Amino acid sequence: MIICEGEPATSIFNVTQGVVKLVRSSSDGRTQIVGFRVPGEFFATPAFERHTVTAVAVTDVQLCRFSRSRLAGLLREYPDLLARLFEMSSAQLLASEDQVFLLGRRTAREKVVTFLLDFSSRTLLGRPEPQRLVHLPMARVDIADFLGLTIETVSRVLSSLVREGLITVGISRSVRFVDLPALMSIAGGPEPVIR
């Protein structure tokens, strides 16, 4: 565990290696994965007095932590950094909107395929389209929780995609995209939409 929801928010974090999952909790103890952060992405914005999520390492991670005071100093020293942080915040807001749409208006198949394509493209750092082989460090239960599905549904969708020859699933949670255009069509277009 990196930070806990409700704790004082004194720092912002940048993932430099590994994958972090972000979890929100309700007052009755239920939880929901609300995002994954990969290298190059930030979490735990210090814009609020308290953290709004719990951040948990999915893999071994390396992070850069910037205190509020250090971040303020960096923003004064490097004004372009503010524009970059605004850009990233805007992208995360759009991703949140896309996630709401995904959860409310997509089929299980579309949700799983969109997740696979999005995670693949985000882990490539700068390449415009998903790679054909992606390693998923998170368990299927985490994917299911994030997508608002059951683990059985995620497994059924993956099995169906394998039977149709669209993907192969290997050891260590690797997925190979066999028919990338068909997968992009299922996801609703060339651009993956969730974070």
Sequence ranges of the domains in the chain = 1-77, 102-187
191 pLDDT band, cuts 50/70/90, is: very low
Pairing of strands 11-17, 62-67: antiparallel
Q: What is the pLDDT of residues 162-190, one digit of tens each?
A: 999 999 998 878 899 999 999 999 988 54
pLDDT on residue 192: 44
Mean per-residue pLDDT of the chain: 84
The two domains 1-77 and 102-187 share their CATH topology (first three levels equal): no
Kindly report which listed range (10-24, 111-125, 142-156) carries the lowest average pLDDT score: 111-125
105 vs 14, which has greater pLDDT?
14
Architecture of domain 102-187: Orthogonal Bundle (1.10)
Residues 33-76 have pLDDT tens digits of: 989 999 988 888 767 788 889 999 999 999 999 887 887 788 88
pLDDT value of residue 98: 67
Superfamily the domain 1-77 falls into: Jelly Rolls (2.60.120.10)
